[in-house]
Amino acid sequence: APALGLKALRAGLVGSSFAGLRLSPNSLTSSNGFHTTASSAAAAAALISPHGGELVNLMVTDAKEAAALVASCTRSMELSDRNACDVELLTIGGFSPLKGFMTEGDYEGVVDNMRLPGSNLLFGLPIVLDTACEDTEVGDKVLLNYQGKAVGVLTVESKWKPNKPKEAKQCYGTSSIEHPGVSMISMERGKYYVGGALAGLALPERPFPCPTPATVRSMLPAGKDVVAFQCRNPIHRAHYELFTRALHADNVGEGAVCLVHPTMGPTQDDDISGLVRYHTYEVLAKEVSNPNIRWAYLPYSMHMAGPREAIQHMIIRKNYGCTHFIIGRDMAGSKSSLDGEDFYGAYDAQDLAKANAAELGMQTVASLNVVYTEEEGYVTADVAEAKKLSVQKLSGTKFRKMLRGGEDIPEWFAFKSVVKVLRENV
């Protein structure tokens, strides 16, 4: 195993610096202006319990223990961007109750039944580490590196050759490589999966902050509903209307806040990069300056798994302290790379989420179909139809063409601050 000095270990374990974010053992200040201390623990305890009852933290904080772990490693592995996201979420408890990559038994339980063996807890998608290494074996300690930095140690408890067609069919509803998630598991992942306990050494360094579940929980008001909004694109006016109106849904209590929690890991090839999207979110947060909104960024890699991914997102947001989850039409859906046909029905994700919400201790909030009208601004589509209002439309394709051509973008469609960032970077 490659050597790693104590100085480097301490740099990763004691205080990890990110753009706009400084982490230390007892406090955190983010670019969004949140400052939390150990005294926030009492408030955090009043929030919804994490999945399985315990917020997992796998980070090794003792430098001598970390150095001993590194010295015990029998081999090393360089992580992909997707794998690095999984290691980070495992380490910080985003995937609670998991304490490492799934073993073959865990994997089979989730693939077959969406259940973790033993506890029988719901889990949407398998969390696995792939490898093409033939001689990795049970008992190995693998040093996990990302971009030249040691981020964790995996103790291999299980190694197997997965049935990828079955995994694809069960988790994505199709075995066609026209689906981006199926293409990923069949063409990007290695021949074998390995699972076992994980020890965290450091978090991956990113150009934007990704606060931990514990940190996000300390941002949230005790005893109030927290409505999560998941996205993987820049936020435009209709999105903003959608998640601010969600705070007034019938099943959301008074004094609720919305956690805007975009996924910042790899998504689809044609999506805007995480760094550019981060800048759009930051300028928008300043522009709207809404005290009922919290902003945080999630180091998660999208699978575009539709219904199954909706469950995964709910579990993750529960671990971050959310009680409600906004779920829209065709959430985490995808289209065929050949003919553009949808892989999922418009309400498949909503239906599965609603069916399992009570077991998760959460509630879903339907994504309203809001439209912009000349007469009354943004209203729901049914109101516009009933009142025969003049609805304004601008397709995503037309918006991108106008953006590239330097044309004026209607302010009813997009925020000026967001458009400016996109013009400068896309």
The string of pLDDT tens digits covering residues 103-149 is: 999 999 999 999 999 999 999 999 999 999 999 999 999 999 999 99
Residue stretches of the chain with pLDDT short of 50: 1-39
21-27: long-range contacts, CB 8 A cutoff, minimum separation 24? 21/209, 21/211, 23/203, 23/215, 25/61
Report whether 276 contacts 242 (CB < 8 A).
Answer: no
**DSSP β-bridge partners for residue 78:** 145
CA pair distance 382, 385, nearest whole angstrom: 5
Encoded tokens for 404: 């590239």
CA pair distance 55, 45, nearest whole angstrom: 11
Give the per-residue pLDDT at 17.
25
Residue 384: name the closest of 367, 365, 370 by CA.
370
Beta strands in 26-72 (DSSP E): 27-30, 35-37
Encoded tokens for 90: 């495992």
| Strand 192-200 relative to strand 158-160, pairing | antiparallel
Q: SS3 of 282, please?
A: helix
**DSSP β-bridge partners for residue 214:** none
Report whether 87 contacts 128 (CB < 8 A).
Answer: no
Q: Token match 């959608």: residue?
A: 242
Give the per-residue pLDDT at 297.
96
Report whether 232 contacts 269 (CB < 8 A).
Answer: no
Distances 299 to 178, 259, 369 between C-alpha atoms, Å = 25, 15, 28
Give the per-residue pLDDT at 135.
95
Report whether 333 contacts 303 (CB < 8 A).
Answer: no
Report whether 290 contacts 240 (CB < 8 A).
Answer: no
Report whether 14 contacts 23 (CB < 8 A).
Answer: no
Distances 380 to 53, 324, 371, 393, 411 between C-alpha atoms, Å = 38, 21, 6, 14, 18
Give the per-residue pLDDT at 426.
76
User: Apex CA 155: angle with CA 265 and CA 162, to 5°?
Assistant: 65
